[in-house]
Amino acid sequence: MKRRFELAQLRRPPNRLTADEYAMYGLAGRSWAEKAEFLGVQSGTAVNSNNEVESVALTRDKLVTYGILSLHGFPFPAIRAVGHVARGFPGAASLPSVQAVETYLEQEAQFPLFMKPIAGNGGAGSVWVSGYADGMLRLRDGKSIAVADYFKRWLSREGILLQAAARPHPEIARRIGPRLSTARVVVLVTERGPIVHRAVLRIPAGNNMIDNFRHGATGNLLGAFEVDSGEVFNAIGMRQGRPEPVAAHPDTGEALVGWTVPDWQQAKEICLRAAPLFPGIRYQSWDIAFTEEGPQTMEVNSGGDVDVLQLASGRGIADATWWALLREPAPRSLLRRWYMRSGPWARHS
């Protein structure tokens, strides 16, 4: 009976936590205060309603984002070319057609390259290209894609970025292998300025070209680390829909807990200095790559999946700091207001 009551409460705004998520996070036996800090995958209203719609456009378009970062001198992987019928980027080749793309790959491209949609998210359409021959993109995982099929799909939509493939920091390469590992860094923009609220390291494994977690479907891992020190205190993978501790990387055998993320203080400083460049976005998710040339900004999102942060750390993201800043708008319906306020929302009102 108690569990049913708790689930009924947690399904309400702002948590919107399902029974499956309750089980996935292992909330049975925890205190109510701990449970009330966990958010479900459908809990984005609090974030979305506090980010200005006009400002969100600055982060959804990577050419716009990189233009802002470039103007202010922030590091990111060099843009070698832009596949789009009309758009371009300073210093990058403009490729308005599949034929132009093929000519560029044959005659000018320096491999490896990292390709991703200009307005994509969640890693969709992102590929690490090690070479090109006979009309085929040779990918890092050993597979091949017909360049015509790949670019026809994306040229007809938002376009494609072709970037230099950054190489991992030596410590990352030693522990995780010769692939980039990025941190998802949550920055909250308060009245006193930006703060780093939480961070998680996304750890690629197996033949994966990128480190996206996708709720555990990719087979990649997560490492939770302290935002003050950068020390990794927990690492997990997903097994049968539940987080499972991982002591060592399956490819390298190196320990995944008890080490410090390289250049973390520098990476944190980049996030804090860059956050004000995107006004109106109070919740920012920065993806920072740890490369041999130092931390580099991969992208910034106005939102993002909270499960990676909660699964890795075992802590809910919606603590007092969160709710002091991110509040859902009051519903117009009196019944809806009662529905919200009689749930965990009332604990932070």
Specify whether the CB–CB gap between 255 and 281 falls below 8 A.
no
pLDDT at 305: 86
In whole angstroms, give the CA distance from residue 235 to residue 156.
40
Per-residue pLDDT at 307: 93
Burial class (CB in 10 A: 0-12, 13-18, 19+), 330: exposed
Residue 119 has pLDDT above 50, yes or no: yes
The pLDDT assigned to 330 comes to 56
| Residue range 211-234, pLDDT digits in tens | 989 888 889 999 999 999 999 999
Q: What is the predicted pLDDT for the residue at 122?
A: 64
Among 187, 183, 186, 185, CA closest to 203: 183
Between CA 30 and CA 77 the distance in angstroms is: 43
pLDDT tens digit string along 22-70?
999 999 999 999 999 999 988 877 677 788 888 998 999 999 999 999 9
Q: Could you read off the pLDDT of 310-320 as tens digits, one per residue? A: 999 999 999 99
Whether the CB-CB separation of 64 and 58 falls below 8 Å is answered with yes
Contacts of 152 (CB under 8 A, 6+ apart): 98
Q: What is the DSSP letter of 218?
A: T
Residue 141 has pLDDT above 80, yes or no: yes
The arithmetic mean of pLDDT across residues 168-175, rounded, is 97
Q: What is the pLDDT of residue 168?
A: 96
* Mean pLDDT confidence for 160-177: 96
Q: Which of 197, 157, 221, 236 is closest to 319 using CA atoms?
A: 197
pLDDT-above-90 percentage for the chain: 71
